[in-house]
Amino acid sequence: MTPRECLRLVLRVGVDTNPSYYRRRIGTTLLRRATSDGRKDAVMLLLENGAEVNAQFEEGETPLEIASRNGRRDIVSMLLTKGADPNVHCGESSALEEACAQGGNGDLVDLLLKNGADVNAESERYGTALIAASRNGHLAVVKTLLENGACISFRHKGYGTALQAAASHGHFNIVELLLTKGADVNSEPGYYYFGTPVQEVLRQGHLDIANLLIDNGSIEAFHGREYDETLLQVIQKGRLDIVNFLLKHGADVDYSSVWDGTALHQAASYGNLEIAKLLLENGEDANIPFEKYGTALQASLIWRQERVADLLLKVTTNVNEKGTYGSALQLAVSHGYATMTKTLLEKGIDPNAHEHRGRWIPIETSVEHRYPRDYRYWPGPASSSVERLEGLDSEMRFEPEKNPAWRRIWPPLHEAIVQGHEAIVELLLDHGADKSLCHAEYENALEAAIDHGRDGLVEQVSQDTTDVVG
């Protein structure tokens, strides 16, 4: 016996199609369950046997909302024929809004509107059907809603207006249409977005829409903390065109964020060579220190961005900046960059300068190996990036297996020995590196060479070492 035949038999003997115990214990109704599963035959049988067409789930949803969300025009039509009210909804969303948001089914939207659905019904999820369609990029549905009197200026607390919802999600044609219909380009944005509408659009990478909003009267002052933060964020995405746009409109090239440093630190960290060049051409100072990295040169070296490091080495003068995670020399030595090590030594960097606590540095350059990039959104009391990174450093010092993509870094000579960079060891010694320097686990360079089995370096570093390990 098929499921349809079973249901028909059960209904024939007079089973209640709206049992209160079923709704109470299962949290639904038979009709809603059949609608959710897309069982058109079961829906028809239940309706023919007295099922409540507007029965609501315990959260308030109706079968009509479910069918609309699933894009089932056939079931929606059946429900409407049996008296379903398109304006009964739970408050979270309406049947019309669901149809506009999910599939953008024009025929389904037309059907609901012809059966009396309120085009401006308000809800929690999107606000109105127009905002739902605009946010999800359904141009034909947006046109239909506007033709049926949709309010273009309604503002949802989260998404803002339909214009803002479409703009932030990159739907150029919908933005263009809404502007021709008189949408206010300067209305207050919703709290889902960052800053002004143009800032949010730029942050999402939609430069064409940003220009469209500005051409249509968006009142923007391209300076201040919000725009400078936007500059840092688009650098992470490598958007040279948007960086250029922001700089031309007055973004502060030397702005330094407590979390990310300057724009040049960002470009250096992410290896964006062309953006780094652009920032330098626009006057950014490569010598501005940031407590987490030191200079932008150090930031590029921490993340093994060698091409950017080569560029910054030419313009950085304070090469002795220590930095929380090692000096430029420590980092260059660590990665085996012999040419860069030589240049730094020729620039007068101290061959013995180092961060004393044996910091951890990343082995990989990929973002997934980094310290989490969303730390700016952490809840709770504000703390400096150094405090947060020191927390990570402290955790790995005692439990390094928690992040095998990071390793400890030593003073320049110790580091070169540990990594087995013989040519760099010779360079450092030629420029006055102290073989007797005591640091953390090693009393001197000789002990480091012996401990790591660098037999070829033992003789090189043992001469004149006062504390010879037996």
- End-to-end Cα distance, the chain: 89
pLDDT band at 385 (very low <50, low <70, confident <90, very high): very low
Q: 208-217, 313-322, 393-402, 407-416: lowest mean pLDDT where? A: 393-402
What is the three-class DSSP state of 254? coil
pLDDT on residue 34:
84
pLDDT on residue 260:
81
Residues 294, 312 contacting (CB under 8 angstroms): no
Report residue 46 as tokens.
Answer: 């239940």
pLDDT band at 91 (very low <50, low <70, confident <90, very high): low
Percent of the chain with pLDDT over 90: 42
Q: Which amino acid is at 368?
A: E
152-218: CATH topology: 1.25.40
Q: pLDDT digits over 107-149, tens only?
A: 999 999 999 999 999 988 899 999 999 999 999 999 999 999 9
Upper half-sphere CA count for residue 404 (Cβ side, 13 Å) = 1
User: Which residues partner with 362 through β-bridges?
Assistant: 406
**CA 21 – CA 322 distance, rounded (Å):** 71
Q: What is the dihedral of CA 414, 415, 418, 420, to 10 degrees?
A: -110
Mean pLDDT, residues 147-167 taken together: 93
CATH architecture of 1-136: Alpha Horseshoe (1.25)
Residues 429, 413 contacting (CB under 8 angstroms): yes
pLDDT on residue 468:
42
pLDDT on residue 243:
96
Start-end of H helices in 254-363: 263-270, 273-281, 296-302, 306-315, 328-334, 338-346
* CATH topology identical between 1-136 and 152-218: yes
Q: Which residues make Cβ contacts (< 8 Å) with residue 407, sequence separation at least 6?
A: 360, 361, 363, 400
Q: Counting Cβ atoms within 10 Å, is residue 463 exposed (0-12), middle (13-18) or buried (19+)?
A: exposed
pLDDT band at 4 (very low <50, low <70, confident <90, very high): low
How does DSSP classify residue 284?
Answer: -
Q: 3-7, 78-82, 154-158, 312-316: lowest mean pLDDT where? A: 3-7
Q: pLDDT digits over 204-231, tens only?
A: 999 999 999 999 988 776 666 777 888 9
What is the three-class DSSP state of 308? helix
pLDDT on residue 407:
58
Residues 112, 87 contacting (CB under 8 angstroms): no
Phi, psi of 94 (to 5 degrees): -110, 170
pLDDT band at 352 (very low <50, low <70, confident <90, very high): confident
pLDDT on residue 258:
79
Question: Of the segments 79-83, 368-372, 441-445, which one has the largest average pLDDT value?
Answer: 79-83
Residues 164, 190 contacting (CB under 8 angstroms): yes
Phi-psi region of 188 (alpha: psi -120 to 50; beta: other; left: phi over 0): beta
pLDDT on residue 371:
40
Q: Which residues make Cβ contacts (< 8 Å) with residue 6, sequence separation at least 6?
A: none
What are the sequence ranges of the domains in the chain?
1-136, 152-218
pLDDT on residue 5:
52
Phi, psi of 225 (to 5 degrees): -55, -40
**CA 277 – CA 281 distance, rounded (Å):** 6
Q: pLDDT digits over 5-48, tens only?
A: 555 544 443 444 555 544 444 445 778 778 888 888 888 888 88
pLDDT on residue 3:
54
What is the three-class DSSP state of 407? strand
pLDDT band at 388 (very low <50, low <70, confident <90, very high): very low
- Whole-prediction pTM: 0.75
Q: pLDDT digits over 407-424, tens only?
A: 567 789 988 998 899 999
pLDDT on residue 24:
44
From residue 139, alpha-carbon distances to 117, 175, 216, 434 in Å are: 19, 10, 20, 70
Whether the pLDDT of residue 378 is over 60: the answer is no
pLDDT on residue 440:
66
Q: Which amino acid is at 187?
A: S
Mean pLDDT, residues 306-323 taken together: 92
User: Which residues partner with 123 through β-bridges?
Assistant: none
